[in-house]
Amino acid sequence: MADDEPIARGAIRAVLTRRGYECQEAASATEVFELLDQGEFDLIVADICMPGNSGLEMVQRLTELPQPIPVVLLTGQPSVETAALAVKLRVIGYLIKPADTDEVWRMAQIGVDSAQALRLLRQHRERFELLMEEMRRTERLGHSAPDKVLGSCISLSMQHLLVSINDLRNLVEMVAARDEPEAARLRLASSRPFLLLDAMRETIRVLERTKTSFKSRELAELRHKLESLLGSEAELPAARK
């Protein structure tokens, strides 16, 4: 929360912390960027009329970051100029003080969800780029060691499946986190991808049966990863038949 008025900062911080968010305070644009140098943030709720942001200079700088951060603006002095500029800069919300607490929460939730989804997307892209490089390496290997290509292809396919399952789990947990803790736990338990779990169990069995046919260290490591991923099955519902 960025505002040069301590009372205003405290009020918005109370709204966000009651909803389970961690919140830090800043009194100026300079302090905002000092905090950004120290860690990662999903959202900035900021006053317009504070040092370093009266003309939305701070927001403009935030949009130029390698990983832009969603912004919700608050103002006690609304104007056509700042409202138009906020739209141009794709600000999540433009709220008039004193802002309705439910609207602040709604805008914050939209911003945080957007930031977390983009972070997951970037992580998926980075992992996919690593997988593509491994695929290119396997293609080059095919010319010099064709007997190893089949095992490598199976391993790469399973790695891609694991990445997709992991991203799906993260997305489900992100959506469930909107609920109260108990409701989120029940929602997660009821939304387990049973078919995927069954497929992973069958994959482990196939890898075990064929380990003498494909003597690959990578495949053995992959089987252990799958077994580890399913290691907490005691906490999950039994797979449906």
| pLDDT tens string 129-140 | 877 787 777 777
Residue 108, both tokens: 């914050």
Residue 199, both tokens: 């497929």
pLDDT of residue 50: 92
pLDDT of residue 179: 52
The answer to whether the peptide bond before residue 70 is cis (omega within 30 degrees of 0) is no
pLDDT of residue 169: 66
As a whole number of angstroms, the distance between CA 191 and CA 197 comes to 12
| pLDDT tens string 147-191 | 666 666 767 776 666 666 666 666 666 665 555 444 444 444 444
Give residue 20's region: left, alpha or beta (phi > 0; psi -120 to 50). left
**Is 103:95 a contact under the CB 8 Å cutoff?**
yes
| pLDDT tens string 62-117 | 988 888 889 999 998 888 989 999 988 889 999 998 888 889 988 988 888 888 88
Q: How far apart are the first and last CA of the chain?
A: 50
| pLDDT tens string 184-232 | 444 444 444 445 555 566 666 666 666 665 556 666 666 676 666 555 4
Residue 25, both tokens: 């305070």
pLDDT of residue 138: 73
Helix H or strand E encompassing 164: helix 149-176
